[in-house]
């Protein structure tokens, strides 16, 4: 009980690190030299599990540098309240550890295009994702001269990447020499090098498995962690609708770029033909976002005489394709009940008007992405 009170004191909301705290983190060896305080690099999504893994280290007076990774697929550190998109700084400020942001950029795009270890139910590449993040964490660990790497993985929690055989595969292929520690399930896994060397006390780690969060919630209460995001993934690759759009993009685009990926999140989208695709806004925010991507080399479509979605046409459309796109825009404008609607098409600085009938919803359903 006394130990728990001590922990709460150290992890209080207004915790201030004083010089005496740093002095207390070292011990004298037999020859009078001070022992280095262990330093861990932790993969930190901002979610409950990764936060608890860090708090279990801080409980043992281990220095922690947390890495929060960002990608073009929803993990952007501030996007939402899911574990993969949660802002990491409030929690880091409260409990007193450092956070570094790292964007995986093209490295992540490459594994999404061609994953070595396959995909989950949608376009998620969970095993390759985990390996990439661990390898990047290992690189940071070497640069910062840290002692080991930590993740918040829980054995059996996720069906693709957190099964025991897969976790062993990750250990083997990332090859950290036994320096990968999973504090929440440590007692169910082989002893790691940091445990053998006494850098971390195995007895103070956990043996959690499965999808229940009961033990995690108990730990959160003990540590005074009263705000944390839901366990739902913020990764767009697990979303069925986004995955359908991404499959379409990979099928019809020889070389994708970051603009292609960013556009997948926006508005309604339709595959008019193999060589062209239509995007249109669902609301004013979508319209404004799509307008930022308009340029002279992209066709734009809108019903300027009434309230209208803003449409972008990518590719090399024929006249027939343009009329189909115009009819789709007409279907969602405020004159959708009219027999004919005037749609202004702009390309390379030139405007012209196509008068079309609004498309049938049954047809649009067939080509909607």
Per-domain boundaries in the chain: 2-236, 266-367
pLDDT of 81 > 90? The answer is no
Buried b (16+ CB within 10 A) or exposed e, 116-147: ebebbebbbbbbbbbbbbbbbbbebbeeeebb
pLDDT tens sequence across 164-174: 888 899 999 99
* pLDDT for position 1: 34
Percent of the chain with pLDDT over 90: 74
* pLDDT for position 47: 87
Q: Please state whether the predicted TM-score (pTM) of the whole model is above 0.85.
A: no
C-alpha 213: how far from chain center: 21
pLDDT of 182 > 70? The answer is yes
pLDDT tens sequence across 92-108: 888 989 999 999 999 99
Residues 6+ apart with CB under 8 A from 205: 56, 183, 184, 186, 187
Mean pLDDT, the chain, rounded, equals: 87
Residues 6+ apart with CB under 8 A from 72: 105, 108, 109, 258, 261, 262
pLDDT of 128 > 80? The answer is yes
Largest CA distance in the chain: 92
The third-level CATH classification (topology) of the domain covering 2-236 is: Rossmann fold (3.40.50)
Buried b (16+ CB within 10 A) or exposed e, 190-204: eebbbbeeebbeeee
């Amino acid at each position: 009980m006394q130990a728990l009170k001590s922990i709460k004191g150290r992890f209080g909301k207004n915790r201030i690190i004083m010089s005496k705290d740093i002095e207390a983190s070292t011990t004298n060896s037999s020859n009078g030299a001070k022992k280095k305080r262990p330093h861990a690099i932790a993969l930190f999504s901002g979610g409950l599990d990764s936060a608890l893994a860090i708090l279990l280290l801080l409980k043992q007076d281990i220095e922690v540098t947390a890495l929060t990774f960002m990608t073009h697929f929803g993990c952007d550190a501030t996007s939402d309240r899911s574990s993969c998109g949660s802002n990491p700084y409030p929690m880091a400020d409260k409990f007193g550890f450092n956070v570094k942001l790292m964007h995986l950029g093209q490295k992540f795009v490459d594994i999404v295009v061609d994953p070595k270890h396959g995909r989950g139910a949608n376009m998620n590449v969970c095993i390759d994702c985990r390996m990439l993040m661990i390898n990047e964490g290992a690189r940071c660990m070497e640069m910062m001269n840290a002692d080991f790497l930590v993740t918040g993985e829980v054995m059996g929690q996720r069906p693709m990447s957190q099964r025991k055989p897969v976790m062993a595969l990750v250990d083997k292929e990332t090859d950290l020499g036994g320096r990968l520690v999973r504090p929440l399930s440590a007692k169910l896994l082989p002893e790691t090098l940091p445990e053998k060397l006494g850098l971390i006390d195995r007895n103070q780690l956990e043996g959690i498995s499965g999808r229940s969060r009961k033990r995690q919630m108990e730990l959160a209460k003990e540590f005074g962690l009263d705000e944390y995001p839901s366990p739902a993934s913020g990764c767009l690759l697990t979303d069925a609708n986004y995955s359908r759009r991404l499959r379409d993009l990979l099928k019809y685009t020889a070389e994708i770029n970051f603009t292609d990926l960013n556009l997948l999140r926006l508005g309604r989208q339709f595959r008019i033909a193999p060589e062209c695709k239509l995007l249109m806004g669902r609301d004013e925010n979508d319209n404004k976002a799509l307008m930022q991507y308009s340029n002279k080399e992209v066709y734009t479509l809108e019903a300027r005489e009434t309230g209208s979605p803003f449409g972008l046409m990518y590719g090399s459309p024929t006249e027939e394709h343009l009329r189909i796109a115009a009819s789709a825009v007409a279907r969602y404008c405020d004159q959708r009940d009219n027999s004919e609607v005037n749609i202004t098409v702009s390309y390379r600085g030139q405007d012209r008007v196509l008068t079309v009938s609004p498309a049938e919803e049954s047809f649009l359903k067939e080509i909607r992405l």
